[in-house]
């Protein structure tokens, strides 16, 4: 009941979540906890359910059974027992508590960099124009784009767009940041600038759940790594343990070997 026990309680608590697309089961009883300030990375072969899991956390996808709680509150359903879907307004409010950065950036092309960040601040957080603008400028500064506030997305490089995408998500002060393969669509020389931003957010204590193929980054930046295979969690542990070449987990060893062969 004390605050200290509150702090160690999982901020994100995924329990026995399963989901099927038609006959294909993409998530098999997945359980996963992320505590405040933790950076948890999900790795695994494509089709292993990593992205689906991430999308369930902010209910961009629904799930068939199980429970996902953020800060003790069930995400998509009013009550896990009845599985009655939350109202549109409730869902929107819940989603505002999680930030998401997408593989394909998904910036709003009709709004400037600052405008992209300000939209949620104005319409969801109810901030004034001036206040939203100053928050947007603060975050653009943090991601090294103070001078691009009034540029449209089409005028920015991929790396710059993704940094705006990150700023748009964190400016809402989410409880947890979800990063979905955010460097996969970038030219190799632009990956570093985006990862540097993520690293600095991690140092600030931002709680993150990310899916990535950047193994070196996962090793350096994560508190824990989750290895998913065939829709289930196959291994969880500290980076050193999971990425060790001598792991006894057969699936993981195959994945890492294939990964090393193609990336090094």
99 contacts another protein (rule: CB under 8 A): yes
21 contacts another protein (rule: CB under 8 A): no
185 contacts another protein (rule: CB under 8 A): no
Are the C-beta atoms of residues 135 and 124 closer than 8 Å to each other? Answer: no
**Residues 32-71 vs another protein: string with x where CB under 8 A?**
--------------------------x-x-----------
d(CA 64, CA 257): 33
Span near another protein by CB under 8 A; candidates 22-30, 33-41, 101-109, 194-202: 101-109
Are the C-beta atoms of residues 12 and 176 closer than 8 Å to each other? Answer: yes
CB of 73 to another protein, least distance (A): 14
172 contacts another protein (rule: CB under 8 A): yes
246 contacts another protein (rule: CB under 8 A): no
CB of 156 to another protein, least distance (A): 11
Rounded alpha-carbon distances, angstroms, from residue 254 to 48, 96, 212, 245: 14, 38, 18, 10
d(CA 183, CA 213): 8
207 contacts another protein (rule: CB under 8 A): no
169 contacts another protein (rule: CB under 8 A): yes
126 contacts another protein (rule: CB under 8 A): no
d(CA 119, CA 209): 24
157 contacts another protein (rule: CB under 8 A): no
> What order of strands is seen across the sheet that includes strand 65-70?
24-34, 12-21, 65-70, 73-74
Provide the 10 A C-beta neighbour count for residue 183: 23
98 contacts another protein (rule: CB under 8 A): yes
DSSP for 206-230, written as a single string: --EEEE-S-HHHHHHH-SEEEEEET
Span near another protein by CB under 8 A; candidates 93-101, 183-191, 211-219, 222-230: 93-101
Query: Hunting for tokens 């505590």 — which residue is that?
Result: 35
93 contacts another protein (rule: CB under 8 A): yes
Residues that bind another protein (CB under 8 A): 58, 60, 88-89, 92-93, 95-100, 102, 104, 106-110, 119-120, 123-124, 152-154, 168-169, 172
């Amino acid at each position: 009941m004390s605050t200290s026990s509150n702090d160690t309680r999982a901020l994100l608590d995924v329990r026995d979540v399963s989901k099927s697309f038609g006959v294909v089961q993409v998530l098999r009883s997945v359980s996963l906890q992320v505590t405040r300030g933790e950076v948890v990375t999900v790795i695994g072969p494509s089709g292993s359910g990593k992205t689906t899991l991430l999308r369930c956390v902010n209910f961009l996808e629904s799930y068939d059974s199980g429970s996902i709680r953020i800060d003790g509150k069930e995400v998509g359903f009013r009550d896990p027992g009845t599985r009655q879907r939350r109202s549109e307004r409730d869902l929107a409010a819940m989603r505002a508590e999680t930030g998401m950065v997408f593989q394909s950036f998904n910036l709003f092309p009709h709004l400037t960099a600052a405008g992209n960040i300000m939209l949620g601040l104005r319409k969801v957080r109810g901030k004034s124009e001036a206040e939203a603008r100053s928050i947007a400028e603060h975050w653009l500064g943090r991601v090294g784009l103070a001078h691009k506030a009034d540029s449209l997305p089409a005028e920015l490089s991929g790396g710059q767009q993704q940094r705006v995408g990150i700023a748009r998500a964190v400016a809402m002060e989410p409880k947890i940041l979800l990063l979905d393969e955010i460097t996969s669509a970038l030219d190799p020389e632009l990956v570093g600038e985006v990862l540097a931003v993520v690293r600095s957010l991690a140092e600030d204590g931002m709680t993150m759940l990310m899916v990535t193929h950047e193994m070196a980054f996962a090793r350096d930046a994560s508190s824990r790594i989750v290895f998913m295979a065939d829709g289930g969690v196959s291994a969880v542990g500290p980076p050193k343990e999971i990425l060790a070449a001598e792991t006894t987990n057969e699936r993981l060893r195959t994945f890492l070997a294939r990964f090393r062969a193609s990336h090094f």
